[in-house]
A = this chain, B = another copy of it.
Amino acid sequence: MKNLNPQSANKVVAFRWVKSPQKGLLVLNQLLLPHQEKWITCRTHAQVADCIRHMAVRGAPAIGCVAAYGLVLAAWEKKFTDAKVLVAHLYASAQTLFSTRPTAINLYWALERMKNAIKEIRTKASNDRGKIKEIREYLEAEANEIYDQDLAGNHKMGELGSELLSAHSVVLTHCNTGSLATSGWGTALGVIRTAYRRGRIQKVLVDETRPYLQGARLTAWELAQDKIPYELITDNMAAHLMKTEKIDAVLVGSDRIASNGDVANKIGTYGLAVLAHFHRIPFYVVAPTSTVDLNIRSGSQIPIEERSRKEVTHIRNLPIAPLDSHARHPAFDVTPHGLVTAIVTEKGVVRPPTLETIQALFNIKS
């Protein structure tokens, strides 16, 4: 397989779809950032699933987009002659992609949207060859639309969220919610980007976000590229700085939001929310509406992914604890909606988040 070179990028991106001559998805291997920029070339849905599972690509909106493109690859990875065989393969591939990570709902949402696209095709072709061509084209268009909408949504959230900040704010953020976690601008980090351009950000405090160090490795890297002033801190410094320095807001992303406004996000988010509450600092969640799971009533129904203990006891391959250590690794936590000041979505700001305000956002009559 020939390796594709990404076009020289003038901004950070997590992945690139290659339309021709051969369909491919380039995934920036985030496990090696910030010290190496290596791209993984995916030609099959299984390769995309591996990238998601091993966190070469991560961030709820990004893995939704990447999974959608993974399904496009599934349509091209074999020589199909029977349209029914193709559709069966697509459903099986969607299941493989879906099973990679349990917490982020965007993955499910994007794959459901792709599956619905298949169902919606009103075929004009009279033979299987024509039908297969139509399905492939329709899926690629749908994945592109998911991507485009996510990017547009990011910019919209940037505008809405920056309105919540005063001039020269000091904000604290957790994990990575920037271009690397989305289709290009960011959720919480997108708000920070937009707000910085409007003179509303003095400084960003970046939680390093153990154990994967997404803050240290990815958010610091993105902020440095955008020349936005930041200070990297260990997660356990947040409380001390909330008490002793001016912090105007905490901004985080989300992997799944329950219909009552409870927010699942990267481990450590809940603790930050409690600390922000104690110090009377606004706590904002920034996430597209594709993150809201209307099928669950509260955060207690959100599955929390338990990842390998080795990810806690080692940094890369360097052991940082006794080799036979018992360790825990819940990768996410749930913040009750009562600790969330507002949720910023591309459709509007939900403040405070409750069953009623979220239903109103979706125009659901209770």
Report chain B residues within 8 Å CB of A34: 321-322
B-binding segment of A54-62, A76-84, A102-110, A270-278: A270-278
Report chain B residues within 8 Å CB of A233: 312, 327-328
User: Are the C-beta atoms of A325 and B210 separated by less than 8 Å?
Assistant: no
Bitwise interface map of A from 180 to 211 toward B, beta carbon under 8 Å scored 1, else 0:
00000000000000000000000000011111
User: Are the C-beta atoms of A208 and B312 separated by less than 8 Å?
Assistant: yes
User: Are the C-beta atoms of A321 and B232 separated by less than 8 Å?
Assistant: yes
User: Are the C-beta atoms of A274 and B270 separated by less than 8 Å?
Assistant: no
Report chain B residues within 8 Å CB of A210: 208, 210, 234-236
Closest beta carbon of chain B to A36's beta carbon, Å? 11
User: Are the C-beta atoms of A271 and B267 separated by less than 8 Å?
Assistant: no
Q: Decide if A216 is an interface residue (CB 8 Å cutoff).
A: yes
Q: Decide if A18 is an interface residue (CB 8 Å cutoff).
A: no
Interface size classification for chain A: 35 or more
Complex CA–CA separation, A251 to B104 (angstroms): 34
Q: Decide if A120 is an interface residue (CB 8 Å cutoff).
A: no
Closest beta carbon of chain B to A342's beta carbon, Å? 21
CB contact list, A211-244 vs B, under 8 A: 211, 213, 216-217, 220-221, 224, 229-241, 243
Q: Decide if A360 is an interface residue (CB 8 Å cutoff).
A: no
User: Are the C-beta atoms of B326 and A231 separated by less than 8 Å?
Assistant: yes
Bitwise interface map of A from 261 to 300 toward B, beta carbon under 8 Å scored 1, else 0:
0000001101100110110000000000000000000000
Report chain B residues within 8 Å CB of A216: 313, 320-321, 325
Closest beta carbon of chain B to A55's beta carbon, Å? 15
User: Are the C-beta atoms of A275 and B267 separated by less than 8 Å?
Assistant: no
User: Are the C-beta atoms of A318 and B321 separated by less than 8 Å?
Assistant: no
Our pick among B217, B236, B321, B327 for the contact of A236 (Cβ within 8 Å) is B236
Bitwise interface map of A from 308 to 323 toward B, beta carbon under 8 Å scored 1, else 0:
0100110110111111
User: Are the C-beta atoms of B234 and A267 separated by less than 8 Å?
Assistant: yes
Residue with the greatest number of chain B CB neighbours at <10 A, chosen from A210, A221, A324: A210
Bitwise interface map of A from 30 to 69 toward B, beta carbon under 8 Å scored 1, else 0:
0000110000000000000000000000000000000000
Q: Decide if A140 is an interface residue (CB 8 Å cutoff).
A: no
Report chain B residues within 8 Å CB of A220: 321-322, 325
User: Are the C-beta atoms of A271 and B316 separated by less than 8 Å?
Assistant: no
Chain B's closest residue to A233 (CB) is B328
Q: Decide if A150 is an interface residue (CB 8 Å cutoff).
A: no
Please name 17 pairs of A and B residues whose Cβ atoms are closer than 8 Å in the assembled complex, sorted by A: A208-B210, A208-B321, A210-B235, A210-B236, A216-B321, A220-B322, A230-B326, A231-B327, A232-B313, A232-B325, A234-B312, A235-B235, A237-B268, A243-B333, A271-B271, A271-B275, A274-B278
Closest 10 CB pairs of A and B: A236-B268, A239-B271, A210-B234, A240-B333, A216-B321, A235-B236, A232-B327, A34-B322, A274-B278, A239-B270
Query: Chain A interface (Cβ within 8 Å of chain B)?
Result: 34-35, 207-211, 213, 216-217, 220-221, 224, 229-241, 243, 267-268, 270-271, 274-275, 277-278, 309, 312-313, 315-316, 318-328, 330, 333
